[in-house]
C-alpha cells in the first residue's frame, strides 16, 4: 500500500514538473480558480490560457480607495464580455485574507496575489509605481495602454474599440 501511495505521489510531482516545462506559469486566484499565463520576451506578448479576447491586468492594493472606485467599471467590462479582467493584489496577506479583500472591494473577476505571481506580472509590465494601474492588452497579448490612476469606463471602452 505504501509503495502504491509513493508511486502516486511521485507521478503527481512529475506531472507538475513537466507541466511547468511548457512555459506556462500557473497562478491561484483568490476565488480558488487557476489561471495560466505565458510571456514571450522576444515578442513582448502575454498570453492567458483559454482567452481569445483583449484583457486588462488591474494592479491594486488592499488600502487603495481609488482601486475600489475602479472596480465597478472593470466588473462591467468583464460582465459585458468586452475584455477579460485579471486583478493583481500587490500586498497580499494569504489566500483567505486576499479573498476577503476582493469581496470587500466588490471584485467579480479573478484576482491573483501570490508573491511570485505578483512579481511576475509587475516585471512583465515594467514595474508598478502606484495603484490603481491598469494595463490593457489586445487579443494577441500585446500591451497597448497603461493607465495609472482612476479612469472612467469610457477610457477602457475607447481603447478596446480601437483594437477592433
Number of domains, the chain: 1
CATH code of residue 42:
3.40.30.10
Nearest CA-CA partner of 88 in 43, 135, 126, 158: 135
69 touches 40 (CB < 8 A): no
Percent of the chain with pLDDT over 90: 82
Nearest CA-CA partner of 111 in 76, 75, 147, 79: 75
38 φ/ψ angles, rounded to the nearest 5 degrees:
-140, 125
Domain encompassing residue 145: 23-162
16 within some domain:
no
Rounded CA-CA distance 70/68 in Å is 5
Q: Can you give the pLDDT of all 164 residues of the chain as single tens digits? A: 445 444 444 443 334 444 445 899 999 998 889 999 999 999 999 999 999 999 999 999 999 999 999 999 999 999 999 899 999 999 999 999 999 999 999 999 999 999 999 999 999 999 999 999 999 999 999 999 999 999 999 999 999 988 86
- For residue range 105-121, what is the model confidence (pLDDT) as tens digits? 999 999 999 999 999 99
18 within some domain:
no
98 within some domain:
yes
User: pTM of the predicted model, to two decimals?
Assistant: 0.86
67 within some domain:
yes
- For residue range 136-160, what is the model confidence (pLDDT) as tens digits? 999 999 999 999 999 999 999 999 9
Q: Which pLDDT score, from 0 to 100, does residue 4 have?
A: 44
H runs (alpha helix) in the chain: 2-20, 65-79, 95-105, 115-124, 153-162
**How far from 138 is each of 55, 76, 156, CA to CA, in Å?**
7, 18, 12
Amino acid at each position: 500500500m505504501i509503495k502504491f501511495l509513493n508511486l502516486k505521489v511521485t507521478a503527481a510531482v512529475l506531472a507538475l514538473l513537466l507541466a511547468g516545462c511548457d512555459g506556462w506559469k500557473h497562478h491561484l486566484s483568490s476565488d480558488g480558480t487557476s489561471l495560466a499565463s505565458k510571456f514571450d520576451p522576444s515578442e513582448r506578448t502575454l498570453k492567458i490560457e483559454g482567452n481569445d479576447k483583449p484583457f486588462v491586468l488591474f494592479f491594486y492594493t488592499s488600502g487603495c480607495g481609488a482601486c475600489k472606485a475602479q472596480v465597478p467599471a472593470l466588473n462591467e467590462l468583464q460582465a459585458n464580455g468586452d475584455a477579460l479582467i485579471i486583478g493583481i493584489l500587490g500586498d497580499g496577506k494569504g489566500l483567505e485574507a486576499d479573498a476577503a479583500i476582493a469581496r470587500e472591494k466588490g471584485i467579480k473577476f479573478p484576482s491573483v496575489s501570490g508573491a511570485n505571481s505578483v512579481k511576475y506580472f509587475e516585471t512583465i509590465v515594467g514595474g508598478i509605481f502606484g495603484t490603481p494601474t491598469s494595463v490593457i492588452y489586445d487579443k494577441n497579448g500585446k500591451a497597448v495602454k497603461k493607465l495609472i490612476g482612476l479612469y472612467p469606463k469610457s477610457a477602457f471602452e475607447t481603447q478596446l474599440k480601437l483594437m477592433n
